[in-house]
Structure 1
Amino acid sequence: MKEEGMNVPSVLFICTGNTARSQMAQVLLEHHGAERFRVMSAGLEPGEVNPLTRQVLEERGLPTGHLQAKGVRPLLGEHFTYVITVCDRAEQNCPIFPHASYRLSWAFPDPAAAQGSEEERLAVFRQVREEIEAKVQSWVQVGA
């Protein structure tokens, strides 16, 4: 993901597990950014993409087949225009990306921590998706 002659800003979203919030942010920026950004996501301790993450994105007709949890370490030498943490733990523990132009923090609640029935948990995933989507849309509109 080197910026070899490309004038397209690159964005890396980071959360703890790369299973929910950063994956949602990636897909939503891919959608709302309309090819204006190169987007990736990664986690400090990557797990598996949460099935409810896929479900709430697919409800919007957004693709999820390309999603897989990845770790941040292999990306440390890459050039990113923006490194954006989407949870407090990632913000506190995020390694330094020496080639990043900007580092931002957008903290969202962890939907994977939701308790209750599947429908109750799904409602939390939908709420977090809405919050992330509003932030992404606002950020894109102000000319990220």
Structure 2
Amino acid sequence: MENKKTIYFLCTGNSCRSQMAEAWGKQYVGDKWNVYSAGIEAHGVNPNAVKAMNEVNIDITNQTSDIIDSNILNNADLVVTLCSHADSVCPSTPPHVNRVHWGFDDPAGKEWSEFQRVRDEIGERIKRFSDTGE
């Protein structure tokens, strides 16, 4: 089997958005891509992110909250920032790494429906990437 490409989802705390993106990524493109997530800081996986993903039958209880790994960052095929803070303060990436920004609202500290909305928006965006490559 040929080597998989690597996609790296980044946000501020690696607790909500990037955790959801990692899970959706594994579901939609995990057969073709190694999927990772990280944050500028590691705040721990938000229990509401776990609960939101459980609602769509995706278990993220074994995912960990990690700070950015420069080895993964510098060797990824695609780096996706999910919040403007990560986009602006993320370490620079080498020219061969494709870096894009898909902005989503931070549901942390908000009402439950925000977690559901952001979960669904991230899932739809990654499904579109799976379908179109963009």
TM > 0.5: yes
Aligned match of 1:104 in 100, 103, 108?
100
How many pairs align? 132
Question: Do residues 124 (structure 1) and 114 (structure 2) align?
Answer: yes
CA contact (8 A) 1:76 1:96 kept: no
Unpaired runs of 5+ residues, structure 1, are: 115-120
The CA deviation at 1:143 is 2.5
- The SS at the match of 1:90 is helix
**If the length of structure 2 is used for normalisation, what is the TM-score?**
0.91
* Percent identical: 30
Letter in 2 for 1:9: K
The CA deviation at 1:34 is 4.2
Question: Do residues 70 (structure 1) and 66 (structure 2) align?
Answer: yes
Residue 36 of structure 2 is matched in structure 1 by: 40
Residue 22 of structure 2 is matched in structure 1 by: 26
For 2:12 and 2:130, the matched residues in 1 are separated by 24
**If the length of structure 1 is used for normalisation, what is the TM-score?**
0.85
Unpaired runs of 5+ residues, structure 2, are: none
- The SS at the match of 2:108 is helix
Q: Which has the larger radius of gyration?
A: 1
**Deviates most, 5-14 or 24-33:** 5-14
List 4+ stretches of structure 1 deviating above 6 A: none
For 1:69 and 1:107, the matched residues in 2 are separated by 19
Question: Do residues 143 (structure 1) and 133 (structure 2) align?
Answer: yes
